[in-house]
Amino acid sequence: MSKKIILLASTVCVLFSVGLQAQSPYSYYYKGQKINLTVNETYLHIIADNAFLSSPSASSLFELLDLEVENPNVSSFPNNQTMIKVKFKSPLQQYMYDAIVNNFKYYANIKKVLPFFEYGEEPIGTSDIFYVKLNSLNTNIL
């Protein structure tokens, strides 16, 4: 019960600090043009230790934050870690979403929390793996 109180208290503190700060939008460049991205506040990817995800504390945390596991077939990552897609059961405002994402950083067993972005009908999830395709083997990398 004390963990729940600490989590709620830290969420309130983060809410006030996040609400007061201006958030810069996510973007990328494609063929010289800046493309702005909109965060989808309904979904998250969470990378965590396999043991944590199957623990009762993870279940109670997800229940407290009104999250449900969207895909029961989790993706395995190296180092005994798993990436799962979670969904908020009810819509959130951005400042609330940001506060919850920031709170996940305080859990030692949660390694990464990654956003989803709007893209047509289906949001696109992100991961911490970055692929680069070079035009040729002689391409110079700065």
β 110-117/33-37 pair status: unpaired
CA distances from 116 to 82, 86, 123 (A): 17, 10, 6
pLDDT of residue 84: 82
pLDDT of residue 71: 59
Euclidean distance between CA atoms 101 and 26, whole angstroms: 15
Render pLDDT for 13-60 as a digit per residue (tens, 0 to 9).
444 444 434 444 788 888 999 989 998 888 888 888 877 777 887 888
pLDDT of residue 126: 83
CA–chain centroid gap for 42, Å, is 10
Euclidean distance between CA atoms 6 and 33, whole angstroms: 44
pTM above 0.85, yes or no: no
Render pLDDT for 61-107 as a digit per residue (tens, 0 to 9).
888 788 887 655 555 666 777 888 888 888 788 888 888 888 888 88
- Encoded tokens for 3: 């963990």
Scored b (16 or more CB within 10 A) or e, 71-110 reads: eeebeebeeebbbbbbebeeeeeebbbbbbbbbbeebeeb
Q: Which helix (H) or strand (E) holds 45?
A: strand 39-49
Q: Does domain 2-119 have CATH number 3.30.70.1140?
A: yes
